[in-house]
Structure 1
Amino acid sequence: MDAVRGKFVTAQMRETFWQLVRFGVAGGLATVCYAIVYSPLAAFQITSEQVANVAGYLVAMLSGYVLHSKWSFRGHAASAKASMFKFFAVSLVSYGVNTFWVWLLTDDAMYAGSWWWPLIPIVFVTPLVTFALNRLWVFR
């Protein structure tokens, strides 16, 4: 019995690992889309950092849904309609977290840092939150 359970846990852990790798690649591409939109808008002061954040978020959300639903979490039983609503809810959490980073790191009342400072936690922290929510709730 322990041998069977050990193989199941190992297979489950292996699937989760590769799912995390696919999520990282797809999320990385969505984050690159975000950065491509956010960076010139904020760097050249075409608009405020927060408006640039909204524009980047919209592009990343749309590209992220396609990539994650078709590739990262492929083979999961979630229906397209149910997963779309849940994915949008998680993307709002992601937007809120990213908005917090932009506010904290660029606002004059806070750290008043450069436009690129929020990209660091946006790339390294926010994806961990969204992976957990997508794995446990959206595409289960």
Structure 2
Amino acid sequence: MTREQSEQIEELLLEWYRWQIRQSHAATLAHFYRPEDRTCRGYETPANAEDDAQDSYQWADDQQSEQVQLCVDALTPEQRAAISTSMRNKESGRLVWTSGRAGDQHATYQAAKSRLLPMLIARHVMREASLSE
């Protein structure tokens, strides 16, 4: 795995982690709060081109994160724990989170990234490195 591929996997995993947080937060809110007010049902806020572009980018990011989720699901529990712990640390900007399930955190995380590389390439989330690299 090249350094560029490693960094690209890091970016994909961080975006995936943020997507997971948004998904779990939305599910929690839907459980306690109605998603719409009965008096405003059916009303749509007028959108402009900028909002439409932002929505389409968000949709593309969500689709990509779903593909990453499928790849992460294929990993061992230890590797999934190492990824989650690493992403939580990266998101918080601190190195305070650990996981007993991950064993040697760094080695397990690197092994997980190595296993993810061919899966992400197969799902067309990443490109293979060119021969000139």
Q: What's the TM-score, normalizing by structure 1?
A: 0.28
Q: What's the TM-score, normalizing by structure 2?
A: 0.29
Which gives a bigger RCO, structure 1 or 2 (Cα 8 Å, sep 6+)?
2
